[in-house]
Structure 1
Amino acid sequence: MNRAATTKPVSAPLAPAEVESILQEATDVLQTEGTALIKLAGRLNRDFCRAVQLLAECRGTVILTGIGKAGLIAQKISATLSSTGTRAHFLHPVEAVHGDLGFMRQGDTLIAFSNSGETEELLRLIPFVTSLDIPIIAVTAHDQSSLSRSADVVIALGTQTEVGPHGLAPSTSTTSMLGLGDALALVTARRRGFKPEQFAAWHPGGSLGLQFKTVRDLMRVGSRVRVASEEQTVREVLATAHIDGRRTGAIVLVDQQQRLSGIFTDSDLARLLETRHDSLLDAPIKSVMTRNPTTVMPDLLISDAVALLSERKLSELPVIDQQHQPIGMLDITDVISLLPAGSQPIQNSSRARAA
């Protein structure tokens, strides 16, 4: 089939005045919502602190609820709490009165999102929640609503001016809820002593989880690392230091005590040949190796190791133990996806020294 025949016709370019109008509208939306967040930050008081205390001391589950757009915000904050060390669950107000109330227990804490504080479906939950002596945190516009009067802690967002056509669609109010919810979750995480290692354990997938692995998790070991004695000649090392699988561009050299003494890379070999020092191929490799190369310990976070590779423009990092003996090799090809955008490490470079 001819693709050109099925492609939608390209619209005519927008006139300059229309481009300016669209961008101005978008700017107004962002500025209005940004201003609302700044005002909200200035409104925070002891009620926010009391809410954090309730969440930090919760020994059960933090239940988040809301309906419509507020419900979507509640779901997002539930996910943020869960990923930062606070057990949380979203409860849909309608599903709640059809059986889902059953998972609520004493020891839980409820966060209810409602801009008006008069959402009928939400208010139906309150008698059951209070009967279990579950503390309620209300995130709402004002402290005089029906929801507010039933809550133990009220975090008032203040009057919100919704943006967009006719100011009807929840926009500024939900942005404020989202910002407030993130603040609650992240401050609570700090109060609970949440650590990066926990974050790594709960985010094993994707590049985010990869950043929180350690060098030990990704380093090459055993027969995948080329190791040779510093007393061998360059020619002997090149002839015997074979490895299984994908080849790394560096050879780790050790002394008589099997401690790392240097590193010899493909770039080092290329320099010997380019400068016509072929005779050095039959000299001990310790005379041409890079001494004191940059090394890392196996428990270093991968994110820190990648930063070192990028900063020093390296392609390999020997991994050593407490006795300075090589136990692995971190190769840039195994972590290339984590390098900062625009980073250009020098392939097989070994000239950077440890600080």
Structure 2
Amino acid sequence: MTPRVLTCDETLAEMARVLTVEAAALTRMAAEVGDAQLRAVEILEAMEGRVIVSGVGKSGHIGNKIAATLASTGTPAQFVHATEASHGDLGMVTPRDVCLVISNSGETSELADIVTYSRRFAIPLIAITRKAESTLATQADVVLLLPDAPEACGIGMAPTTSTTATLAMGDALAVALMKRRGFEREDFKVFHPGGKLGAQLILVDGLMHTGDALPLVAPDTPMSDALLTMTAKGFGLAGLVEGGRLTGIITDGDLRRNMGGLMARSAGEVATRGPKVIRRGEPSTV
């Protein structure tokens, strides 16, 4: 079969159609939020252990992301692959946990063992599925129904709309739990110490130097002494302090701009006044 080559306009139109179909499903989900979603949040908030997220195929990939989002926002969570659960990983699931099981059809055979295990040991089971009459839905304590919306792919079969809806439902649960627990920026940074995000969340306190480590001089300090202070402290600059307040700063640029007769001047004559400051307890990226 020879594939039909789409024109540029047709390609963009197809992409826009996919986004429109998926957005419509999310809008419908938002309108249908109700008692089931509230009950799911209450169960997750009250649990003493972790959210055990499980699924197979694309649902498994989405489940991994949901577990990661929950864990990073204050709700302990772990993804357990349904097939591995049947081969010993059920030992990771305890009566203190809550199972969040994902299946678009609700009839995924690989989920049978983890569902049965949750029922046997009275572990709360929350299902995310599109079929209210499915085996998974009838076994669950709470069912979070996905909209009966078409997949956005051209043949209507590849998981697209359904996986987007599942991911959005997971985000809704995680963010609602954040709000109910009062999870704030300061809590978030505890779980995100690395990378660019971690750098954005570091407080000034974690970077600043204090006390005798600081190169500080008074306005009437001769520049010969100010240079010795700058060299001894190793920061390549000096702070100008008057009455216990930072009122200026001397940098290498200030030294170059005042090279003529530098040694005959005082620190106050060379310093750049009114430096920008940031206070203890503020994010380092302010």
Could you give the per-residue CA deviations for residues 194-225 of structure 1, whole angstroms, max 9, x where no partner exists? 23233222222111112221112223557874
Instruction: Tell me what 1:130 maps to.
Output: 119
**Residue 254 (str. 1) matches residue 236 (str. 2):** no
- Secondary structure of residue in 1 paired with 2:7: helix
Contact kept in structure 1, 2:106 and 2:130, CA below 8 Å: yes
Contact kept in structure 1, 2:85 and 2:113, CA below 8 Å: no
Could you give the per-residue CA deviations for residues 124-170 of structure 1, whole angstroms, max 9, x where no partner exists? 33222112111111111132221111111111112121122311110
Unaligned runs of 5+ in 1: 1-14, 308-355
- Secondary structure of residue in 2 paired with 1:166: coil
**Residue 200 (str. 1) matches residue 200 (str. 2):** no
Contact kept in structure 2, 1:223 and 1:243, CA below 8 Å: no
Alignment map for 1:117-266 (pairs within 5 Å): 117-220=106-209, 225-238=214-227, 240-243=229-232, 247-248=235-236, 250-255=237-242, 259-266=245-252
Unaligned runs of 5+ in 2: none
**Residue 301 (str. 1) matches residue 263 (str. 2):** no
Equivalent of residue 96 in structure 1, options 64, 67, 85: 85
Partners of 1:84 and 1:243 in 2: CA distance: 44
- Secondary structure of residue in 2 paired with 1:162: coil
Partners of 1:166 and 1:179 in 2: CA distance: 23
- Secondary structure of residue in 1 paired with 2:39: helix
Partners of 1:177 and 1:211 in 2: CA distance: 30
Alignment map for 1:5-154 (pairs within 5 Å): 18-154=7-143
Partners of 1:54 and 1:148 in 2: CA distance: 17
Q: RMSD over aligned Cα, in angstroms? A: 2.5
- What displacement does 1:33 show? 1.3
For residue 222 of structure 2, what is the amino acid of its counterpart? T
For residue 144 of structure 2, what is the amino acid of its counterpart? I
- Secondary structure of residue in 1 paired with 2:144: strand
TM-score scaled by length of structure 1: 0.72
